[in-house]
């Protein structure tokens, strides 16, 4: 075993993998016994894999705090060995190992030490170019292009960029070289502007007066919330389809804007109307909604029995990671309080985002939200006070329900016709809704069939006697027929 200054390294810079790669490059010149030793060494190195990565030296255990995913130490450099082993032997296990190296490199994100090869971004980018040459999959060339965009940021900004949590999430890299954090806009919209809009509208209802300044402020708050929801939609699309070059057309932006405008405006108005007549009861409504959506991702995580997420940020301890996840679910609950969150949190996913298109969850959310809004409006209509004396209550209720239906309509138009990746859906939203309603009907069907079966089993004595007599008649006919056949024979 080769040792570098007394240490048996495994990586590409000073270790076993680069030596084996060079030997495989001249494989045909080796003696058969030496070839066998090389393959034994390659398999030995493959056995040292720990969660798609390799420790810097032999016998070391990878710990989350000091895990290295570099070209010099780790999966990005060792991937070249298994690529060469696959080209020489054509054994699929070597290609699978090489692909796992690339996926880990993409999952762990960019390195903060610079654009170099040894322990920088270029070392990661070369892995994606290698996998593209091996597999021909265009997603790897796209990932390499993302790394090139980072080079542009490095040199255009003239400063050291902060490390990314993951290439696939939380950051955009515009063409001008400046990074932008979308989550700040979403936080400002739903944890800042949304409560402000609700409070200002509540004050206007109680005072029965809307000043020009307050109306302008409320319009700006509504636009801020809608803009945050729109950015959340675009972020969800880019995360779910990160391996594709997504281009959102103006028609899609318009549908999202109208969808979110009707949905959020209706929701805020319903909450304000209900709280204006039943002040104390708005508290349980808000708490049930908020804590329900706050604990929902945690319940799914506990049911999945997955290990605790360890890839949020290397510098964070388990307590820090828990705090970050709680803040994420807190924001998720705040969004769902007012509208459907396009970014669905999934704590057992490496990116913490559910990338599948779940039409069932979407349908259930809007059905329950419509029922809740209708119930709150009914309570307002029953207990409305004199401040609504000059308001046509039935017409207002009808307008709000129609507005919410308009939001659902624009959502359906967006997913059916304007979604930039609608061709990648395994099923369209119309098919998803149809299957969802079919499933709901199927749940009710067994109960009905069970009742019919029970009714069929409970028969009157007369029907039982008739069945017994008819059975006896058939048996006698069979006996007569048997005698007739015997006599003819």
Binding-site residue set: 72, 118-119
Alpha helices in 27-120 (DSSP H): 32-47, 75-89, 92-108
For residues 68 and 64, give the distance between their C-alpha atoms in angstroms, rounded to a whole number.
9
Q: Using the 8-state DSSP alphabet, how is residue 171 labeled?
A: E
Nearest to 336 by CA among 401, 275, 283, 263: 263
Q: In 3D, which of 71, 70, 74, 94 has the Cα closest to residue 82? A: 94
Alpha-carbon torsion (458, 460, 465, 466), positive or negative = negative
Per-position b or e across 319-355, b if 16+ CB within 10 A of its CB: eebeebbeebbebbbbbbbbbbbbbbbbbbbbbbbbe
Nearest-angstrom CA–CA distance, 286 and 279: 12
**Cα(401)–Cα(382) distance, integer angstroms:** 17
CA 318 to the chain's CA centroid = 23
Contacts with 407 (C-beta within 8 Å, 6 or more apart), sequence order: 258, 259, 260, 261, 262, 263, 266
User: How many angstroms separate the CA atoms of 477 and 125, rounded?
Assistant: 87
Q: Which residues are annotated as a binding site for Zn(2+)?
A: 72, 118-119
Contact 290, 333 (CB under 8 A): yes
Residues 201 and 413: their CA atoms lie apart, in Å, by 30
> What count of other Cβ atoms lies within 10 Å of the Cβ of residue 5?
6
DSSP 164: P
Do the Cβ atoms of 74 and 100 come closer than 8 Å?
no
**Can you state the angle between helices 32-47 and 92-108, rounded to 10 degrees?**
40
- The helix or strand, by DSSP H or E, that contains position 196, with its residue range, turns out to be helix 194-207
165 and 159 Cβ atoms separated by less than 8 Å = no
Locate tokens 């309509």: which residue? 409
- For every residue of 416-438, DSSP letters joined together read III-TTGGG-SS-HHHHHHHHHH
- Residue 177 gets the label, from left (phi > 0), alpha (psi -120 to 50) or beta, of left
Under 8 Å between Cβ of 373 and 266: yes
CA separation for the pair 411, 135 (Å, rounded): 38
């Amino acid at each position: 075993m080769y040792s570098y200054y007394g240490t048996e390294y495994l990586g590409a810079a000073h270790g076993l993998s680069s030596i084996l790669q060079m030997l495989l490059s001249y494989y045909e010149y080796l003696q058969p016994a030496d070839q066998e030793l090389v393959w034994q060494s390659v398999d030995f190195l493959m056995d040292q894999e720990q969660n798609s990565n390799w420790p810097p030296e032999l016998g070391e255990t990878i710990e989350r705090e000091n895990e290295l995913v570099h070209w010099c130490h780790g999966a990005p450099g060792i991937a070249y060995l298994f690529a060469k082993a696959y080209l020489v032997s054509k054994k699929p296990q070597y290609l699978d190992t090489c692909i796992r190296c690339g996926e880990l490199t993409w999952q762990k994100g960019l390195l903060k030490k610079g654009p170099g090869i040894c322990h920088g971004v270029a070392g990661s980018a070369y892995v994606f170019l290698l996998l593209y040459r091996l597999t021909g999959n265009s997603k790897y060339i796209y990932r390499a292009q993302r790394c090139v965009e980072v080079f542009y940021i490095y040199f255009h900004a003239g400063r050291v960029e902060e490390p990314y949590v993951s290439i696939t999430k939380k950051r955009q890299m515009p063409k001008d070289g400046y990074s932008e954090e979308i989550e700040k806009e979403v936080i400002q919209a739903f944890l800042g502007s949304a409560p402000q809009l609700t409070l200002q509208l509540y004050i206007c209802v109680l005072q029965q007066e809307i000043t020009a300044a307050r109306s302008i402020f409320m319009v700006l708050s509504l636009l801020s919330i809608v803009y945050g929801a729109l950015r959340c939609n675009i972020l969800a699309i880019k995360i779910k389809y990160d391996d594709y070059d997504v281009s959102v057309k103006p028609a899609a932006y318009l549908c999202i804007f109208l969808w979110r405008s009707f949905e959020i405006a209706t929701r805020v108005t319903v909450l304000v109307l209900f709280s204006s007549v039943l002040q104390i009861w708005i508290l349980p409504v808000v708490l049930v909604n908020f804590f329900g959506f706050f604990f929902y991702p945690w319940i799914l995580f506990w049911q999945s029995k997955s290990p605790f997420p360890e890839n949020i940020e290397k510098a964070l301890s388990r307590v820090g990671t828990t705090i970050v996840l709680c803040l994420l679910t807190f924001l998720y609950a705040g969004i769902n309080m007012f509208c459907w969150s396009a970014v669905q949190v999934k704590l057992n996913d490496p990116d913490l985002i559910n990338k599948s298109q779940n039409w069932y969850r979407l349908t259930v959310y809007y059905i329950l939200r419509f029922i809740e809004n209708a119930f709150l409006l009914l309570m307002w209509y029953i207990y409305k006070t004199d401040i609504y004396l000059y308001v046509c209550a039935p017409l207002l209720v009808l307008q709000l329900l129609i507005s919410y239906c308009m939001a659902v309509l624009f959502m359906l138009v967006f997913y059916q016709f304007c979604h930039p990746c609608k061709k990648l859906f395994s099923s369209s939203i119309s098919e998803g809704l149809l299957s969802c309603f079919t499933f709901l009907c199927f749940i009710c069907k067994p109960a009905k069939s069970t009742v019919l079966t029970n009714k069929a089993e409970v028969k009157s004595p007369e029907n039982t006697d008739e069945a017994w007599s008819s059975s006896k008649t058939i048996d006698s006919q069979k006996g007569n027929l048997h005698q007739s056949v015997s006599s003819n024979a």
